[in-house]
């Protein structure tokens, strides 16, 4: 029986990569994700993991290296944080367009400014239109689990897409929590070996990523969009298998916490959902019917699952830990897609957003109390007074 260990999210990501027996790793240091590579470097040096460990000269090179590795048939792993994620921006589309299912482990960090070490989701959220699978964990355990689940989904021949496995910097990446690592036999049962399609080969030469004619563009883009329609089913299958084999209880797309009879709900992802969950309990004790929906995947976006989970709630507060300056709702990103997801319902909740945890600030229990107060007032007045509230100012 596997035993519980205390470890950080970074260590958990490294353990996940080790369990997946990654064959090529490319590193470049930037906090807070650096610790993932520190751990992997030790594992390779100690002979626990048989992988090629390559030092990139920057994040652009990192993603390029894993692109090449993946194209030649290796299971490849890299990662980054903050401005490192955005420095590699050019390579994200070639990676997804070339259908290379390598993985990038992200520990979120603010962009510059403020460039502090704290967590903001804007770094990885900026890549959401590049065709990658993109999801967030809320504990070191889930980081480990998502590393395995994402490889399985990404490498499925119905999918063949790169994945970003995200965790909040510091809150998840640097605070130890209880983790149960999988047994070798469990991982073997869950994650088959990577089977590349038409890999680069000396004996069977093929061409990857050639220039195409303009009239081939639209069909190719349509195919990529079509692929994403097939992903949810693969995620559902993989999550069900994972739950069965490892004894977990993940909802594939949305963790629903005390939502069934909720009047007001928080819509959130990542680390702060843990404070949110205890806040829901506290609010319930005070007679406020609160609930929480926690998003596990941003790409593919679970439109229908969210409509189903939140349709009956009277008011939803989106807790945004990323920025979308000048956007339709004047604050963050998630609210745009949540509102769109609820639009076709006959009766839909009021939806506002709370900019919270920016700069890596802690979101306090009292902040959730304040948000609940705003949402309760919205329900009473039957209208959304503001698109956005800034928390902790």
Partner 1 sequence: MAKVHEITVWTRGVIMDKEGRDVINIFAKAAQMDGKHAQAFDNYEDLPDRVLVTTRKYVRLSDEEIEHKYVYTNDEPEVVVILEATIVKGIDILRGMKKGGTLIINTNRSIDSMLKFIPNAKLLGTIATVDADGITGVRTVDFSGSEGGVDTSGIGKGIASPVCGAIAKVTGMIKKENLAKIVSDVSGMERGYKEVKIKKLG
Task: Summarize as ranges the residues that interact with partner 1 (CB under 8 A).
Answer: 6-8, 10-11, 31-32, 34-35, 38-39, 42, 117, 170-171, 173-176, 271-272, 274-275, 278, 362-365
Nearest residue (CB) to partner 1, 15 versus 156: 15
Is the bond preceding residue 232 a cis peptide, omega within 30 degrees? no
Smallest distance from partner 1 to CB 43, Å: 12
In whole angstroms, what is the distance from residue 393 CA to residue 385 CA?
Answer: 19
Nearest residue (CB) to partner 1, 23 versus 320: 320
Smallest distance from partner 1 to CB 345, Å: 34
Nearest residue (CB) to partner 1, 31 versus 348: 31
Task: Give the CB-side neighbour count of residue 234, counting CA atoms within 13 A.
Answer: 21
Smallest distance from partner 1 to CB 356, Å: 12
Smallest distance from partner 1 to CB 33, Å: 10
Answer for the pair 262, 289: CB distance below 8 angstroms, yes or no.
yes
Task: Give the CB-side neighbour count of residue 309, counting CA atoms within 13 A.
Answer: 25
Strands 4-7 and 24-27 turn out to be unpaired
Nearest residue (CB) to partner 1, 115 versus 176: 176
Smallest distance from partner 1 to CB 263, Å: 23
In whole angstroms, what is the distance from residue 7 CA to residue 13 CA?
Answer: 10
Smallest distance from partner 1 to CB 342, Å: 29
Beta bridge partners, 108, equal 168
Nearest residue (CB) to partner 1, 27 versus 352: 27
- Which residues does 199 contact at the CB level (< 8 Å), separation at least 6? 71, 72, 73, 206
Smallest distance from partner 1 to CB 222, Å: 43
The radius of gyration of the chain's CA atoms, rounded to the nearest angstrom, is 21
In whole angstroms, what is the distance from residue 132 CA to residue 228 CA?
Answer: 10
Smallest distance from partner 1 to CB 102, Å: 24
Nearest residue (CB) to partner 1, 217 versus 359: 359
Q: From residue 240, how far is each of 233, 246, 252, 347 by CA, in Å?
A: 11, 10, 8, 31
Answer for the pair 92, 127: CB distance below 8 angstroms, yes or no.
yes
Is the bond preceding residue 300 a cis peptide, omega within 30 degrees? yes
Nearest residue (CB) to partner 1, 105 versus 352: 105
Nearest residue (CB) to partner 1, 75 versus 174: 174
């Amino acid at each position: 029986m596997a035993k519980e260990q205390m470890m950080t999210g970074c260590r958990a990501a490294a353990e996940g990569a080790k369990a997946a027996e990654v064959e090529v790793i490319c590193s470049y240091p930037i906090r807070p994700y650096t610790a993932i590579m520190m751990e992997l470097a030790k594992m390779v040096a100690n002979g626990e993991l048989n992988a090629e460990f390559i030092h990139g000269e920057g994040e652009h090179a990192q993603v390029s290296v894993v692109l090449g590795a993946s194209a030649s048939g290796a299971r490849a792993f890299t990662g980054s944080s903050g401005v490192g994620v955005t420095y590699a921006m050019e390579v994200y589309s070639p990676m997804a367009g070339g259908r290379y299912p390598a993985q990038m482990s992200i520990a979120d960090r603010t962009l510059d400014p403020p460039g502090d070490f704290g967590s903001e989701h804007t770094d990885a959220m900026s890549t959401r239109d590049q065709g990658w699978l993109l999801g967030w964990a809320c504990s070191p355990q889930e980081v480990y689990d998502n590393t395995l689940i994402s490889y399985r989904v990404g490498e499925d021949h119905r999918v063949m897409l790169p994945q970003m496995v995200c965790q909040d910097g510091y809150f998840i990446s640097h605070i130890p929590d209880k983790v149960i690592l999988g047994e070798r036999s469990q991982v073997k049962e869950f994650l088959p070996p990577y089977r590349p399609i038409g890999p680069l080969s000396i004996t069977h030469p093929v061409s990857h990523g050639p220039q195409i004619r303009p009239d081939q563009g639209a069909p190719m883009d349509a195919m990529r969009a079509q692929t994403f329609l097939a992903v949810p089913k693969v995620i559902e299958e993989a999550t069900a298998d994972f739950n069965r084999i490892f004894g977990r209880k993940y909802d594939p797309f949305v963790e629903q916490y005390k939502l069934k009879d909720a009047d007001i709900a928080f819509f959130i992802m990542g680390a702060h959902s843990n404070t949110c969950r205890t806040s829901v309990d506290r609010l319930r004790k005070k007679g406020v019917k609160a609930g929480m929906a926690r998003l596990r995947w941003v790409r593919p976006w679970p439109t229908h699952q969210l409509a189903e989970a939140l349709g009956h709630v009277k008011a939803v507060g989106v807790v945004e830990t990323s920025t979308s300056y000048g956007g339709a709702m004047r604050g963050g990103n998630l609210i745009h897609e949540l509102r769109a997801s609820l639009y076709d319902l006959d009766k839909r909740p009021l939806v506002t957003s709370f900019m919270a945890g920016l700069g890596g600030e802690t979101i306090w229990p009292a902040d959730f109390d304040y948000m609940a107060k705003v949402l309760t007032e919205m329900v009473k007045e039957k209208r959304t007074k503001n698109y956005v509230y800034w928390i902790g100012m």
